[in-house]
Amino acid sequence: MKCSACGADLKEGDTFCPVCGKPVNGPATAGNVQAPVEEKTAKDKLGLAGFIVAFCSWLIDPLALASLTAIILSIVGVTGAKGKYKTFAIIGICAGALEFVLQVIRLVNLFSQM
């Protein structure tokens, strides 16, 4: 075993390096390893964006474009999103698709009356 700080040879059971005095890295420090921080990935954001756009499209969407955007964002997002963001993306797809169908029906009715 070698000292992680200076590289000096250590004897089995040494708790401090005899050369530089640094504590020997053993199992005692293994608990120091930090849990990986859960970072939002780009696809998490896309899934969330799709979810938000899908719900905005219910309010303002004269041509079903927002719902299409929501579906696309959510589908891209769902391929890479994790945990709750995957759920958001799936809801975004469903809400976007439902909104798109409703808008198409509305537009077809509109044009058939002209």
Return residues touching Zn ion (CB under 5 A): 3, 5-6, 8, 17, 19-20
Q: Which is nearer to Zn ion, 1 or 8 (CB)?
A: 8
Q: How far apart are CA 71 and CA 73, in angstroms?
A: 6
CB of 7 to Zn ion, least distance (A): 7
CB of 46 to Zn ion, least distance (A): 48
Q: Which is nearer to Zn ion, 6 or 104 (CB)?
A: 6
Q: For the range 90-93, what are the long-range contacts, defined as Cβ-Cβ under 8 Å and sequence gap of 24 or more?
A: 91/51, 91/54, 92/47, 92/50, 92/51, 92/52, 92/53, 92/54, 93/50, 93/54
Q: How far apart are CA 1 and CA 9, in angstroms?
A: 6
CB of 18 to Zn ion, least distance (A): 8
Q: Which is nearer to Zn ion, 19 or 42 (CB)?
A: 19
